[in-house]
Structure 1
Amino acid sequence: MNNRINIIEFPSNLGLKAPEPGVEPGVKNLPDWLRGNGFYQQLKPKNIYTLAPPSYSMNMDTEARVRNSDAIIAYAKQQAEMLDNVLDEAPFPIIIGGDCSILIGNAIALKKRGNYGLFFLDGHTDFILPELSQTGGVAGMDLAVVTGHGHPKLTDIDGLKPYFREEHVWCVGNREYDKDYVAPILDSNIHYYDLERLQEKGTEQCTNDFLQMVTDQKLDGFFIHLDVDVLDDGIMPAVDSRTHDGLTYAELNHILEKLLPHKKAVGMEITILDPDRDPSAEYTKEFIANMTKNIRNARR
């Protein structure tokens, strides 16, 4: 047993459009998949908590212009309550999705506790409004939602808008360079390191600048979002929205080696790895080998 780690399972796929008619996104099976491939055994968490999500649907909310908004909001409130209770314990929570919409509930829990930063590792910005979305899926809008952009139903749950202030957010690893897609985040106060800028400036400067901001702003802590599609497509193709290029494990590991041991780190979520897209577990096993080493080294 590792008394320094808890695992929380939030296996919601409500933020994604069905890959084909009648087929649910497979990310709902990620906790069981990681467990079956040794992730839990290697981490030996003190406790494992699970929150079953609402049933999957493709319901479009014509008011908010996103899919499954009411179910996502209800689940987010339950998530926030569970995470708040787990944060009262000493062990560091590793939160397993699910898709990126689980960030909303986690963000609400943190906002209720104080002011937190967000290190957002993702192959996309997830910073768009519904009118730019081709799917209506909240998993492609989660960073916008948690910083206060979009319909108040999602952005102002319990009157807590914004859950993270833009200037306290680092968005790292995007490699969708379409001008219309990146325009919203460029117009924001979010600190934006797309893949090209990250590799030009270096992971050391990026993480150091973030941690310095946490100190300078006297934040209560920070949270790490890891969408596995931030990794290079050649080493992690088991995602719903594949894009050429991405981070190497060496680059990701260097970032996490800086963030995970920090005294202000309060948790990390892992999203989007789809077991249906990695039937041999080839890519999953490499991911587990890297992640368990990072987590164990940081939380000894």
Structure 2
Amino acid sequence: MAASNDISITSVPSDVGSVFPGKSRAPDALQAAGLVEKLRALGFNVNVYNALPDGPVGWAESNSEPSGARNEAAAVTVCQAVKSTIATALAATALCDLLPFQLILGGECLVCPAIMSALTHHLPGSRVGLLYVDADCDLTYPHEPGSSGNIASMTFTHLTLRPEALQSMRQFSRPGGAGVVDSSNAVLFGLNSSSPANKRDHLGYLFNNNYRVITSDAVVVDAGARATEALRWLEERVDYILVHLDVDVIDPGLFPLGNIPNYTGIRFPDIMTALRIFLASSKAVGLTIAEVNPDHDPGLLMTRRLVDEVVLGLKDRLQEV
């Protein structure tokens, strides 16, 4: 499979499905840290899209009735805009083996189903897989006892379209209407099995349905080996791979850039080692960066470190021309 020197960057400045405001400023912060300029300096052809050109969709107070999800209509509208924008970016080439690499700057993880849906519709007959690098399994659902009702915590529920998924999110599916993810095309990497957010029945769903899970404890021991293992497993089963990086997988005591703290014990260099391994795959077609909150990083020092590592990971994808 030939790689392309084209990169499509899509900004998604949204806070709409979250607990705290701040993530809507992440796309601008990542670009202010020099992301576009550094990629172009390496020789990439970079096109920049904004899924929300009328301005950021910010956090708003909302109750969760009657659907059990806060700000449902606004979140669905954001997802529709993301799917449409990714479809436009993918249409920049008609050749499936020369896809522009998709780099999506969140914003929040709730748009992942829309990205995967755009990819699967653009690549009919191909198998698109997901490396879900996240401390949370995001399997909450509307009206779940104790649920916050925030749609960002339901991302994997909407990726799988299990019965509890919102009806309004079922449009972000495979062409036949099935969820974009099942146990044959996804790996959860860095899951904090000790976190109260990952409830017993959430973990039970993953285990009972044979999902491939690599916990944060395993990543702490040997991030490189676990990343190689995860990638090999997925490459054997799919044609293309989207890497979803939720920065809350990095322990906030060491690198507090994520929106909500999750004490995983994983160091920033460990996740960046894994990310470089994932991006080196010839099957990697995109990376989405989610849950960055620039309010935690007034001088953008952590944001610049993240940008530099992403650029380094993409550097090896450059083809001689």
- Fold shared by both chains (TM-score > 0.5): yes
- Code of the residue aligned with 1:284 in structure 2: it is T
2:103, 2:287 within 8 Å by CA — same for their partners in 1? yes
Given candidates 185, 191, 196, the residue that maps to 2:217 is 196
1:27 matched residue in structure 2? 23
Instruction: Please list the CA deviations of residues 172-193 of structure 1 after superposition, one character each: whole Å capped at 9, or x if unmatched.
Output: 1122514535343333332111
Per the TM alignment, residue 279 of structure 1 is displaced from its structure 2 partner at its CA by 1.0
Do residues 145 (structure 1) and 164 (structure 2) align?
A: no
Residues in 2 aligned to 1:158 and 1:93: alpha-carbon distance in whole angstroms: 18
1:99, 1:272 within 8 Å by CA — same for their partners in 2? yes
1:83 matched residue in structure 2? 86
Given candidates 240, 251, 272, the residue that maps to 2:291 is 272
- Classify 1:48/1:76 alpha carbon distance in 2 versus 1 (closer, same or farther; 3 Å): same
2:103 matched residue in structure 1? 94
Q: How does 1:54-203 map to 2 (within 5 A)?
A: 54=57, 56-89=59-92, 90-112=99-121, 113-114=123-124, 115-130=127-142, 131-132=144-145, 134-149=147-162, 150-157=164-171, 160-177=177-194, 178=196, 180=200, 182-200=203-221, 202-203=223-224
1:4 matched residue in structure 2? 6
2:276, 2:313 within 8 Å by CA — same for their partners in 1? yes
Instruction: Please list the CA deviations of residues 101-138 of structure 1 after superposition, one character each: whole Å capped at 9, or x if unmatched.
Output: 11121122123234311100012221222315542111
| Unaligned runs of at least 5 residues, structure 1 | 20-24
Task: Give percent identity, aligned residues only.
Answer: 22
1:168, 1:190 within 8 Å by CA — same for their partners in 2? no
| Length-normalised TM-score, structure 2 | 0.81
| Length-normalised TM-score, structure 1 | 0.86
Residues in 1 aligned to 2:276 and 2:59: alpha-carbon distance in whole angstroms: 36
Residues in 1 aligned to 2:222 and 2:300: alpha-carbon distance in whole angstroms: 33
1:228 matched residue in structure 2? 247
- Code of the residue aligned with 2:81 in structure 1: it is Q
Root-mean-square deviation (CA, aligned residues, Å) is 2.5
- Code of the residue aligned with 2:130 in structure 1: it is L
Query: Secondary structure at the residue paired with 1:157?
Result: coil
Do residues 36 (structure 1) and 32 (structure 2) align?
A: yes
1:10, 1:79 within 8 Å by CA — same for their partners in 2? yes
1:148, 1:162 within 8 Å by CA — same for their partners in 2? yes
Query: Secondary structure at the residue paired with 2:262?
Result: coil
2:138, 2:154 within 8 Å by CA — same for their partners in 1? yes
Residues in 2 aligned to 1:285 and 1:198: alpha-carbon distance in whole angstroms: 23
Per the TM alignment, residue 240 of structure 1 is displaced from its structure 2 partner at its CA by 2.4
Query: Secondary structure at the residue paired with 1:173?
Result: strand
1:155, 1:162 within 8 Å by CA — same for their partners in 2? no
Aligned residues: 291
Per the TM alignment, residue 253 of structure 1 is displaced from its structure 2 partner at its CA by 2.6
Per the TM alignment, residue 252 of structure 1 is displaced from its structure 2 partner at its CA by 1.8
- Code of the residue aligned with 1:148 in structure 2: it is L
- Classify 1:283/1:234 alpha carbon distance in 2 versus 1 (closer, same or farther; 3 Å): farther
Residues in 2 aligned to 1:197 and 1:132: alpha-carbon distance in whole angstroms: 30
- Code of the residue aligned with 1:156 in structure 2: it is R
Instruction: Please list the CA deviations of residues 182-225 of structure 1 after superposition, one character each: whole Å capped at 9, or x if unmatched.
Output: 3433333321111113345753244334434333x3x2311110
- Code of the residue aligned with 2:117 in structure 1: it is I
Q: Bigger shift: 48-57 or 186-195?
A: 48-57
